[in-house]
Amino acid sequence: MHVLRQRRTGAPESNICSYLWQPGATERISRADALGDRAQSLYGRCMAIDSFKWLPPSLRGFYENMHVPPPDGVPWSPLAKPLREARIALVTTAGLNVRGLEPPFDYEREQREPRWGDPSYRRLPRDVRQEQVQTGHLHINNEDIDRDFNVAIPITRMLELEAQGVVGSLASTNYSFMGYQPDTAEWSARYGPEVARLMKDDAVDGVVMTPV
C-alpha cells in the first residue's frame, strides 16, 4: 500500500511533500533536510530534487535567477470520486501526432521563426499503436519515445491500471501539445479551454500531465 505523507517545510504557504512508499525514500528526505538552508535560499523552498540537474551550467544560472511573478492564486478542484471510479486522461507536451489522423505540429514554421512554437494540440486515441505515433519535437531527443511512447505518454500503463481496477477508466482520447511555447497566451485563452471542454465531454475527472 502506498502512503502519501505530506511533510511541510519552509514557509507556511509551501507544501513540499515526501513520498514514502519504498526503501530508499528516507535517504532522499535526509538529503533534502541536509540541503535545507541552501535549497530554501535558492528557491524559497526545501526540495530534494534538483530541477536544473540536466541543463548546461549556463542555462542553470539563467533559470535559477529568472524572476517569476508569484501566481495569482492556485485553482484547486479535488477529485470528486475514488480513483477506482475516476476517468483519467493523459496530456503530454511531447509534440506527438497520430499518423493518418492529424498532421504533425508546424515544426517548419518554428524553423523559420525560432521564437514561435505551435500552440495547437493533437489527439491520441486510447487504442493508439506505437507505429502510429509520430514525434518531431525540436528540443529533445525523440528516439526513446519512438521506441516506447509510454516514456512520455503512459497509455499502455494506464490501460493496465484500468484492467487492474486501480483507476475507473482511461479516457477515450488523450492529448499532445508541443512544449516549446515562448508565449503561453494561446494555450490559456484558446487551446487549453478547448481541450478542457473536450475532456469534460468525455466525462474525464482527472488529468495526468507529462511535460518533456
> 159, 188, 201, 203: which one contacts another protein (CB under 8 A)?
188
85 binds another protein (CB under 8 A): no
174 binds another protein (CB under 8 A): no
Minimum CB distance to another protein smaller for 1 or for 100: 1
Per-residue string for binding with another protein, 23-52, x by CB under 8 A?
-xx--xx--x----------xxx-xxxxxx
Residue 85 is classified by DSSP as G
Contact 140, 212 (CB under 8 A): yes
Rounded CA separation 131/110 (Å): 25
124 binds another protein (CB under 8 A): no
> 158, 169, 174, 176: which one contacts another protein (CB under 8 A)?
158
Q: Which of residues 61-80 bind another protein (CB under 8 A)?
A: 68, 70-80
Residue labelled with grid coordinates 506527438: 96
CA distances for 41 relative to 35, 44, 45, 65, 119, angstroms: 10, 5, 7, 12, 35
Helix/strand/coil for 166: coil
104 binds another protein (CB under 8 A): no
